[in-house]
């Protein structure tokens, strides 16, 4: 996924280590593990309840495509794809705004705090039908997904654990209109339960604590962060070793992410995995539409690309890998670049080397001769040649990989 040219310019003279130092410092994580909001006091996501469905998604895509995008933004997206929710599950956008803010505030802090905050957020409680759940007849969705998707994995719990977990998590209430979340003691289960083989008077905090402390949680999440940042897959043994070291270090997210960024594998990584719809759009916009004026690259195109934030296909988030190379994923990308016409493309003279470098493609990429042939075709007007050359670059196989 390409970065905004203005952001690349800021790091142009930095070594990789120096750039990582600056990126970590820019994250603004305090001693309490909370990060400052990177957009300041007045530039955050919209929170209007009236007629604003989807606006937070669109604001976020603009943010991710901008020169201001940072490690905080990348991690917020990673966490949204892990702890995904859908804005169609509730009224208004305030719950979406609150959860997105939570991902930014705690996405580089303490894993326990992040998971507890996410599963008790109004957006998650609504999405997984846990708002209004009563201990005498609890909804099991949140307990099941918390274990299967977000923490220990499906091989480490039983249906009895799902039922016990549902009782322990019961009692949360949500008011969509004002985005208020509270706990109703009268709806809670107060007797002892057996959960994951232990008998106790379980509640939300205890459930989160035991699930986060389970070794499989760190193994699974470490492997996911590695895949998203480096692009390659860890072997089970590598995931175990990495997760165990993370647990020994207290499950603080920023130091773990920094260790990934400073790894040899990260410095050697390029075009390791296929871009998702959102990653492709952000990369293309950052390069050829840095001012965000191209209508054909409007963020709402993510509906066609199959990855609008806060509109996942399931609680498991979006698929990876080969899914994004099927015709249904690639055709919308081809259709979008057909109308490409931005000042970045037409207001300067491009060479093949310039296009390859700006698009983050290797100088020896197989698409180079095709771009060169397009730019040398005197039978086409120069602006049309440049538009066509950029269409080729943005849809070539290498640009489809992160």
How many residues are listed for the chain in this entry? 402
Mean pLDDT of 181-210: 96
Q: Is the pTM of this model over 0.85?
A: yes
Q: Which residue has the higher pLDDT, 42 or 359?
A: 359
- Digit-coded pLDDT (tens) for 322-338: 899 888 889 999 998 98
Q: In angstroms, rounded to a whole number, what is the distance separating the alpha carbons of residues 38 and 336?
A: 30
- Digit-coded pLDDT (tens) for 237-268: 999 999 999 999 999 999 999 999 999 999 88
Reply yes or no on whether the pLDDT at 367 is more than 60: yes
- Digit-coded pLDDT (tens) for 101-124: 999 999 999 999 999 999 999 999
- Digit-coded pLDDT (tens) for 54-84: 889 989 998 998 888 999 999 999 999 999 9
What percent of the chain is modeled with pLDDT above 90?
A: 70
| Cβ atoms of residues 194 and 44 within 8 Å | no
What percent of the chain is modeled with pLDDT above 70?
A: 98
Phi and psi dihedrals of 371, rounded to 5? Answer: -60, -40
Reply yes or no on whether the pLDDT at 301 is more than 90: no
Q: Tokens at residue 92, please?
A: 């208004």
Return all residues near 25 (Cβ < 8 A) that are at least 6 apart. Answer: none
Q: In angstroms, rounded to a whole number, what is the distance separating the alpha carbons of residues 345 and 388?
A: 10
Which pLDDT score, from 0 to 100, does residue 237 have?
97
Q: What angle do CA 33, 141, 50 make, to 5 degrees?
A: 70
Phi and psi dihedrals of 319, rounded to 5? Answer: -70, 170
């Amino acid at each position: 996924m390409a970065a905004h040219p203005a952001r690349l310019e800021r790091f142009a003279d930095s070594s990789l280590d120096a750039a990582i130092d600056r990126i970590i410092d820019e994250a603004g994580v305090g001693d309490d593990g909370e990060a400052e909001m990177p957009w300041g006091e007045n530039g955050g996501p919209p929170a209007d309840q009236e007629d604003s469905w989807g606006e937070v998604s669109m604001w976020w895509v603009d943010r991710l495509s901008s020169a201001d995008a940072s490690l905080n933004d990348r991690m917020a997206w990673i966490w949204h794809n892990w702890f995904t929710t859908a804005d169609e599950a509730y009224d208004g956008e305030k719950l979406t705004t609150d959860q997105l803010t939570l991902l930014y505030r705690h996405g580089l802090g303490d894993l326990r705090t992040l998971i507890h905050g996410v599963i008790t957020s109004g957006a998650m409680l609504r999405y997984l039908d846990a708002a209004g759940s009563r201990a005498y007849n609890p909804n099991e969705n949140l307990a099941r997904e918390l274990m299967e998707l977000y923490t220990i994995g499906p091989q480490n719990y039983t249906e009895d654990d799902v039922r016990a977990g549902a009782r322990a998590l019961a009692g949360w209430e949500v008011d969509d209109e004002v985005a208020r979340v509270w706990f109703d003691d009268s709806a809670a289960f107060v007797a002892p339960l057996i959960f994951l083989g232990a008998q106790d008077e379980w509640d939300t905090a205890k459930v989160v604590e035991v699930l986060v402390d389970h070794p499989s949680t760190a193994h699974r999440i470490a492997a996911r962060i590695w895949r998203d940042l480096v692009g390659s897959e860890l072997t089970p043994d590598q995931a175990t070793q990495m997760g165990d070291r993370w647990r020994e270090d207290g499950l603080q997210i920023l130091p773990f992410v920094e260790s990934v960024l400073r790894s040899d594998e990260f410095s050697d990584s390029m075009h390791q995995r296929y871009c998702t719809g959102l990653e492709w759009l952000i990369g293309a916009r950052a390069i050829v539409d840095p001012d965000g004026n191209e209508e054909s690259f409007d963020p709402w195109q993510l509906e066609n690309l199959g990855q609008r934030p806060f509109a996942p296909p399931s609680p498991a988030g979006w698929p990876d890998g080969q899914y994004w190379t099927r015709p249904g994923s690639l055709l919308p990308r081809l259709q979008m670049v057909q109308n490409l016409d931005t000042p970045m493309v037409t207001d300067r003279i491009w060479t093949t080397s310039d296009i390859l470098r700006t698009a983050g493609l290797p100088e020896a990429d197989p698409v180079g001769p095709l771009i060169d042939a397009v730019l040398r075709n005197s039978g086409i007007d120069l602006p049309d040649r440049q538009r066509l050359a950029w269409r080729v670059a943005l849809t070539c196989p290498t640009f489809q990989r992160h």
